[in-house]
């Protein structure tokens, strides 16, 4: 039976959106037949999907970088770009997905559950789609957005029903081998088991899984030995079984004192799954006690001698031998009953939605809110604009093309960014950053007076960017107030256009 890799860091990137095309139809005798640049295709997503065909995270250990396919660019002649293929990564049941900082993203327990962990960028609109009544033949297209890049942590907590804990060499792996078809490594030196083993037990009608963890020693909770690190593998198990060595040669050890030691270590364990609904701390799970190695005469004597003290813990006690299989059938059926009782007591789990896109996933602002605030950066006052849409628009803009920049200005104006800037006290010429200070685009604010469309000169240019006269701050202020009055009228006009369906905006 496969042992499993417990934790892996995965670097995922959505496919880039293809750029839109700017193209003009050419017909005989009709050199300018209208815009016919197609849209770019969307980039593919990177998706995790819970599969019962996968039992380990080993594949991601070997290949931790995964990227979805890019969308292809739009073409002239209304050629649409092709969408990039999604990359679907199968993960085992019980995989927990976390942010790089450790915060929980998703807990994947249902076969078929899908989580988008890196979104593909959207394809850019071609100039055909950008045409409006006023902007009949746009000389630009929107760029495709880059795919999202993320680092996530996958953790596999085995969903074993029964977890075996105990000192090294107590016979945990031997018990798994004796009770199931699993063949873990067994040897007479401590820490033979380095990663947990998992076996499937069939007891009459009931089937359950059983897992061991590397041996625990005193001080495990302070990092001694290997064991505590692996307790998270058994965090979902319904029953915890103490495996006690009745025939240890170490003079200071015996089953009762070993049991107490392990209980103390379990009590120290602090789970980070505690935040999940229905989580029961390890120390409160049902228990059973297994006294092993009674095939050895000294072991059998010891088991009998301590029987009363062991029963006093209040948990069922089994005396067994993993070597001769004595007592194993009884143990196997008793564990099956405990597992079944636990299963019966579980509340009905609501089926998980097939596609999960939790807020945390994507890392971007999901809501429609746009904020503007004055910030100070490197001794300079800046007006910072944040919001999903304006930041997205920046990514779509080809800043080498003035007409494209004019289109961006119109979008920002229409979304109310200009009003917000004015409210925040920005004056024409003040620096404005859209997005984060580090990655955002910074420019001097030139409020739009008209919708931009009237100002269009030759394709690819925008008259607002011609001339480039430098004005004093006082002049700018006066001119700004004039513009603000004219602006409302311009905006009303734009709205009428839009209501009439001539305005095209991918976000609306």
Ligand X SMILES: Nc1nc2c(ncn2[C@@H]2O[C@H](COP(=O)(O)OP(=O)(O)OP(=O)(O)O)[C@@H](O)[C@H]2O)c(=O)[nH]1
Total of residues contacting ligand X (CB under 6 A): 25
Closer to ligand X by Cβ: residue 50 or 178: 178
Q: Which residues is 8 bridged to in the sheet?
A: 154
Integer Rg of the chain from CA:
33
Cβ atoms of residues 68 and 46 within 8 Å? yes
- 90 annotated as a binding-site residue: no
Site string for ligand X, 215-244 (x = CB under 6 A): x-----------------------------
How far apart, in Å, are the Cα atoms of 422 and each of 339, 391, 418, 447?
66, 19, 6, 9
Site string for Mg ion, 154-183 (x = CB under 5 A): -------------------x----------
Site string for ligand X, 244-283 (x = CB under 6 A): ----------------------------------------
CB of 161 to ligand X, least distance (A): 19
- 169 annotated as a binding-site residue: yes
Query: Comparing C-alpha atoms, which of 148, 143, 38, 20 is closest to residue 87?
Result: 148
Cβ atoms of residues 138 and 406 within 8 Å? no
Pick one of Mg ion, ligand X, none as the site partner of residue 434 (Cβ within 5 to 8 A by kind).
none
Binding to ligand X by residue 3, rule CB under 6 A? no
Query: Is 277 exposed, middle or buried, given 0-12, 13-18 or 19+ CB atoms closer than 10 A?
Result: exposed
CA–CA distance, 219 with 228 (Å, rounded to integer): 9
Binding to Mg ion by residue 307, rule CB under 5 A? no
Binding to ligand X by residue 171, rule CB under 6 A? yes
CA–CA distance, 11 with 17 (Å, rounded to integer): 19
Cβ atoms of residues 425 and 376 within 8 Å? no
Indicate which single residue of 64, 90, 146, 190 sits in contact with ligand X (rule: CB under 6 A): 190
CA–CA distance, 397 with 405 (Å, rounded to integer): 7
Pick one of ligand X, Mg ion, none as the site partner of residue 342 (Cβ within 5 to 8 A by kind).
none
CB of 72 to ligand X, least distance (A): 53
Cβ atoms of residues 479 and 471 within 8 Å? yes
- 214 annotated as a binding-site residue: yes
CB of 82 to ligand X, least distance (A): 53
What is the number of other CB atoms lying within 10 angstroms of the CB of residue 257?
12
Total of residues contacting Mg ion (CB under 5 A): 3
Closer to Mg ion by Cβ: residue 192 or 221: 192
Q: Which stretch binds Mg ion (CB under 5 A): 40-48, 184-192, 450-458, 459-467?
A: 184-192
CA–CA distance, 277 with 418 (Å, rounded to integer): 45
CB of 85 to ligand X, least distance (A): 44
Query: Comparing C-alpha atoms, which of 358, 468, 368, 360 is closest to residue 415?
Result: 368
Binding to ligand X by residue 321, rule CB under 6 A? yes
Q: Which SS3 state, helix, strand or coil, does residue 396 take?
A: helix
Indicate which single residue of 16, 45, 193, 306 sits in contact with ligand X (rule: CB under 6 A): 193
What is the number of other CB atoms lying within 10 angstroms of the CB of residue 27?
9
CB of 199 to ligand X, least distance (A): 12
Q: Which SS3 state, helix, strand or coil, does residue 375 take?
A: strand
Binding site members: 166-173, 191-195, 212-215, 292-295, 321-323
Point out which residues bind ligand X (CB under 6 A): 166, 168-174, 186-188, 190-193, 212, 214-215, 292-293, 295-296, 321-323
Question: Which positions make up the binding site for GTP?
Answer: 166-173, 191-195, 212-215, 292-295, 321-323
């Amino acid at each position: 039976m496969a042992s499993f890799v417990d934790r892996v860091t995965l670097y995922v990137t959505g496919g880039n959106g293809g750029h839109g095309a700017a193209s003009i139809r050419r017909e005989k005798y009709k050199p300018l037949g209208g815009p016919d640049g197609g849209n770019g295709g969307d980039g593919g997503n990177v998706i995790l999907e819970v599969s019962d065909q996968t039992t380990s995270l080993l594949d991601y250990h070997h290949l931790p970088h995964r990227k979805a396919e890019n969308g292809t660019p739009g073409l002239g002649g209304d050629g649409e770009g092709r969408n990039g293929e999604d990359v679907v990564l199968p993960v085992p049941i019980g995989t927990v997905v976390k942010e790089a900082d450790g915060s929980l993203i998703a807990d994947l327990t249902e076969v078929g559950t899908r989580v988008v962990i890196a979104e593909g960028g959207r394809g850019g609109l071609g100039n055909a789609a950008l045409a409006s009544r006023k902007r009949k033949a746009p000389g630009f297209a929107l760029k495709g957005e880059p795919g999202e890049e993320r680092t996530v942590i996958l953790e596999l907590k085995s969903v074993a029903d029964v977890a075996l804990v105990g000192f090294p060499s107590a016979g945990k792996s031997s018990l798994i081998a004796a009770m199931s078809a699993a063949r873990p490594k067994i040897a007479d030196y401590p820490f033979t088991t380095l990663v947990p083993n998992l076996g499937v037990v069939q007891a009459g009608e009931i089937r359950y899984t059983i897992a061991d963890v590397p041996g625990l020693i005193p001080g495990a909770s302070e990092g001694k030995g290997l064991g505590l690190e692996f307790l998270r593998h058994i965090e979902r198990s319904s029953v915890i079984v103490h495996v006690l060595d009745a025939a240890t040669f170490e003079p200071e050890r015996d089953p009762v004192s070993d049991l107490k030691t392990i209980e103390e270590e379990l009590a120290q364990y602090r789970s980070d799954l505690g935040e999940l609904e229905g989580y029961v701390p390890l120390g409160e799970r049902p228990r059973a006690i297994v006294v092993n190695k009674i095939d050895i005469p000294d072991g059998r004597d010891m088991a009998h001698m301590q029987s009363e003290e062991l029963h006093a813990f209040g948990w069922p006690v089994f005396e067994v031998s993993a070597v001769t299989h004595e007592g194993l059938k009884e143990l196997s059926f008793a564990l099956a009953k405990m597992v079944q009782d636990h299963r019966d007591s579980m509340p009905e789990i609501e089926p998980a939605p097939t596609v999960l896109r939790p807020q945390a996933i994507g890392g971007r602002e999901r809501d429609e809110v746009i904020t503007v605030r004055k910030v100070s950066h490197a001794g300079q006052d800046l007006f910072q604009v944040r919001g999903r849409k304006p930041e997205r628009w920046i990514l779509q803009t080809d800043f080498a093309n003035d007409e494209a920049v004019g289109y961006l200005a119109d979008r920002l104006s229409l979304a109310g960014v200009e009003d917000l800037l004015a409210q925040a006290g920005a004056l024409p010429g003040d620096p404005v950053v859209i997005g984060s200070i580090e990655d955002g685009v910074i420019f001097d604010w030139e409020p739009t007076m008209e919708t931009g469309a009237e100002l269009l000169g030759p394709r690819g240019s925008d008259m607002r960017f011609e001339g480039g006269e430098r004005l004093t701050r006082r002049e700018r202020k006066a001119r700004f107030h004039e513009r603000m009055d004219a602006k409302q009228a311009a905006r009303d006009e734009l709205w009428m256009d839009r209501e009439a369906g001539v305005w095209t905006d991918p976000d609306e």
